[in-house]
Structure 1
């Protein structure tokens, strides 16, 4: 099983990449920069998902006050929905489509990054709840 701190560090990196993509689409249209930022995020996300042990979250959810099997199932269902939306987003927005309709791409990207960052925050919340009492990690310093 991965160390909690490693997962948190990976989540922080993913969050930074998601923020970078959001900032990229919030500026002047730059298809090349957007494709590069999205590709970096996609590769990091795929690597993280391949290494992450999903069973860890079942254990963490059981430790919460609402830690029923239904809560764990909902957690996994929300991930599956996000993954399907992410795949559709990647499929729908190739470089040509981005260049044709930057405004719609930017809007959809912002919404997708909000969802992704919310999921990262949710997973980190579970990890911190378990790791902090055991002294396995510290809260991040305020930036």
Structure 2
């Protein structure tokens, strides 16, 4: 079973990487650093989602007949599916050549994408994880 503490640590890591990338794109053009951080962020995000998507939404949506949460969970899941698709498109569109050729365009789309990702992390921290904890779908801490 997953635990709140570990999931929050993963979210902190994702947020830290997003902030690092935002810091790089706020400065002088540096495609090499930006792409390296983005690659780390992408791998970290994929790893986190492989854990989260399989348990969090399925279990919370499974409570549909017990409470009013599933409507909110469905909304979150739908919004996140759109974000995940947009993230994949962003990664595909902004390859090494495109980033080097259009730094300003890359910066604009990166800032927008990372704002959405960070808002998503905050929403999960504020609503979904506490809900999952309350419903015993995750532990507070890892089992000893």
Q: Which interval holds the TM-score relative to the shorter structure?
A: 0.7 to 0.9
Deviations 1:68-98 (A, max 9, x none): 4322211110110000000000000001101
Work out the number of aligned pairs and report it: 134
Go from structure 1 to structure 2 and tell me whether the alpha carbon gap of 1:30 and 1:119 turns closer, same or farther (over 3 Å shift): same
Go from structure 1 to structure 2 and tell me whether the alpha carbon gap of 1:131 and 1:55 turns closer, same or farther (over 3 Å shift): closer
Q: Which residue of 2 aligns with 1:136?
A: 140
For 2:37 and 2:49, the matched residues in 1 are separated by 18
For 1:56 and 1:130, the matched residues in 2 are separated by 7
* TM-score normalised by structure 2 residue count: 0.81
For 2:53 and 2:93, the matched residues in 1 are separated by 29
Cα RMSD after superposing both structures:
2.6
Larger relative contact order (CA 8 Å, sep ≥ 6): 2
Q: Structure 1 regions of 5+ residues with no counterpart? A: 138-143
Q: Which residue of 1 aligns with 2:11?
A: 11
Q: Which residue of 2 aligns with 1:48?
A: 48
For 1:29 and 1:71, the matched residues in 2 are separated by 40
